[in-house]
Amino acid sequence: MSYSPLTPLDGRVAIVTGGARGIGLETARALQENGAKIVIVDINAEAGEQAAKELDSDFIRTDLTRSHEVNKLADGVRSKYGRIDIAFNNAGIAVNTPSETCSDEDWHKVINVNLHAVFYCCREFGKVMLEQGKGSIINTASMSGIISNTPQPQSAYNASKAGVIMLTKSLAGEWAKRGVRVNSISPGYIGTEMTKAGMSNAEWQADWLKFTPMGRVGETREVATAVVYLASDASSYFTGSNLVVDGGYTCW
């Protein structure tokens, strides 16, 4: 499949967090196909190195919940490439726990990865882009930042993704006149390992498909094309937008 947008990404430097598998890896492929130089970032060194080998790209293991590591990551990419043009802040986790029994540890684990780390990445990559006077940041939110999923309990995940959407809008407003665009994507149920695990629960699978008008899970390539669009100049008038890729789930 071709991922070509209306405008190419030739020579642009793209950081993809959570890039070792799933949506991140597929998007890294798509960005590379359109000419971008890829830096894969993940906490899983084995998977990250394998992904980088496949794409013949750089891999930098980083714990994104530690702001000093994100600062080091941004400095390292700028030192090697001289710039950061695209940042796909995609790393995320989910914990399905009833709220009344959700531990402080589980709550903080989700918020730290899904929201705090996204802010650290936006801040550090954004500093480089602001100095350049140009850049595109795309944050992975979720349809769960718009609606509350059923039947699985996941209040921490939902709250974190709602936070990503508002963080995106806030940064977009701050940085628009300085050349940096900030948008988010909100996938629905996509065929990643996370979703496949949920699909193994017959009750969840039935409800997930019933509430999705298209009646199927999405494919990672269907999210990747949206990210390529937001990364490219074809979306030059997009900032502060939340592009929902959910098969219609949120229209009901």
Our answer to whether residue 3 is catalytic in this structure is: no
Residue 169: CB atoms within 10 Å: 17
Per annotation, catalytic residue among 3, 120, 157, 189: 157
Q: How many helices (H) and strands (E) does the chain have?
A: 9, 7
- Judged by phi (left if over 0) then psi (alpha if -120 to 50, else beta), residue 22 lies in left
Please say whether the beta carbons of 1 and 221 come within 8 A.
yes
| DSSP H or E stretch at residue 53 | helix 45-55
Cα–Cα distances (Å) from 128 to 13, 26, 83, 180, 204, in that order, read 12, 25, 7, 10, 42
211: its two tokens: 């509430």
Catalytic residues: 157
